Amino acid sequence: MDLKKAVFILFFVFAVAFAKDYSLTNAELTYTINSDGVVHVNERITYSLDGCFHELYLEKPTDLIITDATGYCENAECTFQIDEPEVSVSGARELILSLHSGGCDNTVTAVFDYTIYAIKLYNDTAQFYYKLWGEWWEKPVPLKIKIILPGDVKETTYFIHSFSDFQSSSQGNTILISARQPSQSYLEINLLMPLEWFENQDSNVYYRDDKHSKSDIIKIEEKQLEEQKFWKSLTCVIFLFSLSLVLVPLLAFPTIYYVFGREYLPKEVGYFGEYEREPPSQNTPAEAPFFIEGEFSQNALPATLMQLVYKGYFDILEDKAKNDIILVPGRGKGELKEYEKDLLDYINSKMEKGKLSMKKFKSEVSSSYGFYTWFNDWERKVKKSADVDKYIEYKGYEVAKWVFGAFILMDVLIFFGSSFLVAISPFAFDASMFLSFGAVFGFVVSSILSGIAKIKKIWFARWTKEGRLLNLKWSNFRKYLSDFTLLKERPPSSVRLWDYYMSYAVAFGVAEETLKAMKVVVPAKEMRSSRLYPLYYQPVYFSVMRSSFTPSYSPPSRSSGGYGSIGGFGGGFGGGGGGAR
């Protein structure tokens, strides 16, 4: 067995060993409220274990008084223990069933029994205000809850608090609640019972409140019911608004283009040509791509270098042993543009003993920060020389910039503002989540569209009539250079003209197509007279030259279970969570 196979097998074994998860397939909870004020709790929670686990546990708030706690497992062997907050894994009080067998890939029912002190006495009522299922659970569960009272349910008033759907019923002395309870969500009851149901009311098992009455509690609950209805209706509106944060920018994109970015039709500028056999203006290969794409071409520099070779400022030599090409000074004369002079001077400054190796230049110079900054400055000079802005109407781009900028700002404000909704009302959670998600996705969409608008200004801007005419002609010249059939049928008249056109083909990114046609049309003997012959003879040198003069440098770029209120959502005793580990 070779090393790679051994490493793969070990990786697979460890991945399988440590990959585990669990789900809760059922939870049945029974709360028995006794007349002595003590509440007996029985929790039967069924775990489906995928992988190996050593503990099933409950987490309970630290200020919840728990007594007489026991537990056992069905379909597995386990022992029960309680870990106090100072030693528990979670920092809460934990009721733990340690698995000795049956903890791997098994369905196990954990049964917990304990009693709690959770009855609060007022002057005219007794209250069981309790989170029957806590928000610390990380898994959803089909939930069934039974509450057994010391008297008839008809003598009580109760309110069930949940942010998800549930069903409830009552008969005799029993209240039944069922729900498909989501993760991290509580189900709570505020149950008001007659005082006379409870004996020994001076016992320390009771909590007391002499400041409030049953009517105070009911008033709070009824107010929250109205508030819940209000937010439920408002949430539908907020959902549609949140959706619009994503959809409106998407619709704005084509709308702005349709209104401001549609180009003049060829007939509107009086142009009916199918192709152009020669450059339609005096613009150099570095400048010409602006009139097609409206932006700078990364091939501008190697195309300009080929122009300098064509004009005789450099000669190309072939180093067959190293599969490299060498630049040496030529005897070129004539007027050059500023950025052409800059490139000429830059290459001459990098020569050693009158020679420049393309491969060495690529490895030592093109990846340097110095070349990166020089190239950016050179690019600015090319753009300035092309002066393409006078041929473009930028109104659409300006509109797009402000529209998407406004959406981005609005998304940021909404995202941070949405968090305050929950502080206003617990029923605003869904609305807050919709706004948050809408703002996040809207921000992403608007940022992407804004980036596209910035990179592709020409998509929202449009050519003036004069600019559109140049755009059509230059596009047709590129079409000519990339069309094998056209080049065969109507080729340039001389090798020198092929050389001249080849620098444009490099700038347009179609050099391979042009070279393919040239090799078919031009006799081999004539091709040898070309100043660019080493590039034609060994096309790999094309890629060497292009990659050498493209910069490769990258610039560095949980809550208490105590009583917090007398009524309303989330103020009840108890709660907690649990899981498997």
Average pLDDT over residues 375-387: 90
Which residues are CB-contacts of 344 (< 8 A; sequence separation ≥ 6)?
Answer: 308, 313, 336
pLDDT of residue 13: 46
Size of the chain, expressed as the number of residues it contains: 581
Higher pLDDT, 567 or 157: 157
Average pLDDT over residues 181-200: 92
Average pLDDT over residues 450-460: 79
Nearest partner of 315 among 530, 550, 524, judged by Cα: 530
Query: What CATH number labels 21-212?
Result: 2.60.40.1730
pLDDT of residue 393: 84
Listed by start position, the domains of the chain span 21-212, 243-247+393-460, 266-392+465-548
pLDDT of residue 408: 92
- The band of 389, judged by pLDDT with boundaries at 50, 70 and 90, is confident
Measure the CA–CA gap between 149 and 207, rounded to whole angstroms.
18
Average pLDDT over residues 398-404: 89
The rounded percent of the chain whose pLDDT value lies above 90 is 41
- The band of 2, judged by pLDDT with boundaries at 50, 70 and 90, is low
Which residues are CB-contacts of 411 (< 8 A; sequence separation ≥ 6)?
Answer: 245, 439, 440, 442, 443, 446
Average pLDDT over residues 50-70: 92
- The band of 362, judged by pLDDT with boundaries at 50, 70 and 90, is confident
Average pLDDT, the chain: 86
Which residues are CB-contacts of 234 (< 8 A; sequence separation ≥ 6)?
Answer: 431
> Rounded to two decimals, what is the model's pTM?
0.53
Higher pLDDT, 82 or 297: 82
Dihedral (CA of 150, 156, 159, 160) sign: positive
Weakest-pLDDT range from 19-33, 133-147, 467-481, 562-576: 562-576
pLDDT of residue 562: 46
pLDDT of residue 18: 53
Return the structure tokens found at 569: 């959502």
Q: Is the pLDDT of residue 270 over 50?
A: yes
Q: Is the pLDDT of residue 422 over 80?
A: no
Measure the CA–CA gap between 558 and 577, rounded to whole angstroms.
10
Q: Is the pLDDT of residue 118 over 80?
A: yes
- The band of 284, judged by pLDDT with boundaries at 50, 70 and 90, is very high
Q: Is the pLDDT of residue 559 over 70?
A: no
Higher pLDDT, 284 or 418: 284
Residue 295: DSSP 8-state: S
Dihedral (CA of 440, 443, 448, 449) sign: positive
Weakest-pLDDT range from 199-203, 383-387, 429-433, 474-478: 429-433
Weakest-pLDDT range from 59-73, 134-148, 391-405: 391-405
pLDDT of residue 167: 95
Answer yes or no: are the C-beta atoms of 502 and 306 closer than 8 Å.
Answer: yes
pLDDT of residue 33: 96
Centre a 10 Å sphere on the Cβ of residue 15 and count the other Cβ atoms it contains: 9
